[in-house]
Amino acid sequence: MRCKAAVTGIGMITPGGLTTEATWATVCQGQSVARTDPDLAGLPVDITCRVDGFDADAVHGRRLARRLDRFTHLALAAAQQAVRDAKLEPGAWNAPRVAVVLGVGGNSMNTYFREFEALSQGHPELVSPLALPRSVPNMAAAEVAIALGARGPNFTVASACASGATALAVAASMVTSGACDIALAGGAESGLARMTVTGFQQMHALSQRTDAPRLASRPFDVDRDGFVLAEGAAVLVLERPQHALRRGADQRALLGGHACTCDAYHPVVPHPEGIGVEHALRTALKESGLDSRDIGHVNAHGTSTPVGDTVEARALHRIFGPTPPPVTAPKSILGHSLGAAGAIEAALTVLTQQHQLIPPTANLHRQDPDWELDIVTQAPRAAAINAAVSNSFGFGGHNTVLVFVGE
C-alpha cells in the first residue's frame, strides 16, 4: 500500500444535520430531506436540500460572519469540528506543517448577483469592497487557515462535483510524501442561488418532481429524472499513521488509495463506456494494494441522472463482476452538494466502516434489469467491511475514486 493517510477527525455541516453525528443519524433513517425552497419561488424547479438551523453569527461571531460567504461559513465550521474531533490544539501544533486543501466547485452566485445588481443600476459605489474576497473559491481554504493558524500549503481544488474528493486525494499525497504533517481536507459549496438552479434546470439536470420533493432524488431507479441541489461541507483531518500514533490520536480509517482521471470526452456528459470511471477505480485499487474482492462496500456517486447512473453501474459491474459489493447513494437523502459532495460522501464511507453499517438509499423502487446492483434500501444493513470505495465524478469528465481501509 503506497498511499496511506490516517483519518483522525471528521467535521460535517449538511442538510442532514449540523454535526457528523446528526448527519449520520439522518442518512441511516433513509428518508430524503428535500423540500420546497421559498428562495426559489417562481422558478420551474423550486426544491433543494438546505442546511437548516445554521446561525453563522452565533458560530463565527457577527463581524467574521459578515466578511465570509455562505460556503466559507460552512467550510470553517466543518474544519473547526474536525480539528476538535481529532483532539488537535491549533495553538500548539507546528503551524508551517499544517496544510489546508479544500474543494469548491464554483463561485458564489448569490454574492455576485447582489453586487452586479448594484452595478447594473448605475451605482458602483454600492458594490461592497468585500465582493471579491468574500466570493472567490480559494477563500474557504484561506479563511480556515487564518482562523486556525495553519501556515502550511494552502489551496483550493476545483474539479466540479468531484472537487471535495479530489482535495482529499491531493491532501493524502501531500501527507504521505512528507510535504506536511497534518492536512485539513474536504469540500464546501452553497450553490443554491437562483442563477445556479436555473442553469442546471436549463440543462435538464434537475429532477422535475417539484410536487413531491422527498421522492425526487432516486439514484439508480428506472424512473430517475435528475438530482436535487444541496449545500454543505465536510472536512477530514489526515495525518501519517506514525504522526497520529505519536500524539495518541484515534485513527478512524486509512485512506489507502486514490486515483483521479479525466474522460477527455465532453463538457457535461460522461463517456458512455465509462472508461475514465473504470480507469480511476482500477488505479485506486492498485494504489491501495487491494483486489476488487477485498472491497466490501461502494459509496456511489449516484446523482439520479439517467446517463450518469447507468455509466457508473456498468463500470462497477466491469470492475467487480456480476455481483458488486453492497452500494449506497447518499445523494438520495442529502441531495447533491456539488463541490462538497465528494468530501461528505468520503466522511460517510469512513463512518460506514467504523459502524460496520451501510446506510440505505432512498426512493429506489425498481432498477434497470440490465445492470442491477446490490443497493441497500429501506433500512441500514450490517456488514463486515474491511475496505470501501467512494466514487465522485464531475462536469468536464473528472473522476476521483477514494479507497478507505479499516485502521
How crowded is the C-beta side of 22, counted as CA atoms within 13 Å? 16
pLDDT digit string (tens) for 223-280? Answer: 999 999 999 999 999 999 999 999 999 999 999 999 999 999 999 999 999 999 999 9
Q: Is 394 helix (H, G, I), strand (E, B) or coil?
A: strand
Please, which residues have CB within 8 angstroms of residue 319's CB and are 6 or more apart in sequence?
278, 281, 282, 285, 292
As a whole number of angstroms, the longest Cα–Cα distance in the chain is 63
Q: Is 50 helix (H, G, I), strand (E, B) or coil?
A: coil
User: Residue 1: is its pLDDT beyond 50?
Assistant: no
CA 395 distance to own-chain centroid: 15
Annotated active-site residue 297? The verdict is no
CATH of domain 5-247: 3.40.47.10
Q: What share of the chain is helix, strand, coil (3-state, %, to 5)?
A: 40, 20, 40
Sign of the CA dihedral with 143 first, then 48, 394, and 375 last: positive
Contact status, residue 361 vs residue 219, Cβ threshold 8 Å: yes
Cβ count within 10 A of residue 393: 32
Question: Which amino acid, residue 48?
Answer: T
pLDDT digit string (tens) for 48-92? Answer: 999 999 999 999 999 999 999 999 999 999 999 999 999 999 999
Question: pLDDT category, 369, cuts 50, 70, 90?
Answer: confident
Q: Is 25 helix (H, G, I), strand (E, B) or coil?
A: helix
Closest CA to 127 of 137, 112, 142, 141: 112
Cα 187 to Cα 71: distance, rounded to the nearest angstrom: 9
pLDDT digit string (tens) for 138-194? Answer: 999 999 999 999 999 999 999 999 999 999 999 999 999 999 999 999 999 999 999
pLDDT digit string (tens) for 18-44? Answer: 999 999 999 999 999 999 999 999 999
Cα 140 to Cα 133: distance, rounded to the nearest angstrom: 10
Task: Say if pTM beats, i.e. exceeds, 0.85.
Answer: yes
H-assigned helices in 99-191: 109-120, 131-135, 139-148, 163-177
Question: Structural domain boundaries of the chain?
Answer: 5-247, 256-405
Stretch 305-333: mean pLDDT, rounded? 96
Annotated active-site residue 204? The verdict is no
Q: Which three cell numbers stand for residue 202?
A: 436549463
Domains 5-247 and 256-405 share a fold: yes
Q: Which residues pair with 257 in a beta bridge?
A: 403
Choose between 110 and 150: higher pLDDT.
150
State the catalytic residue, choosing from 161, 180, 258, 271.
161
Question: pLDDT category, 116, cuts 50, 70, 90?
Answer: confident
Please, what is the end-to-end C-alpha distance for the chain in angstroms?
A: 13
Please, which residues have CB within 8 angstroms of residue 138's CB and are 6 or more apart in sequence?
104, 155, 156
The overall average pLDDT reported for the chain is 96
Annotated active-site residue 336? The verdict is yes
Q: Is 102 helix (H, G, I), strand (E, B) or coil?
A: strand
Residue 3: the pLDDT is 56
Q: Which three cell numbers stand for residue 276?
A: 475514465
Cα 278 to Cα 99: distance, rounded to the nearest angstrom: 30
Q: Which three cell numbers stand for residue 52?
A: 437548516
Cα 283 to Cα 272: distance, rounded to the nearest angstrom: 20
| Fold topology of 256-405 | Peroxisomal Thiolase; Chain A, domain 1 (3.40.47)
Cα 190 to Cα 339: distance, rounded to the nearest angstrom: 9
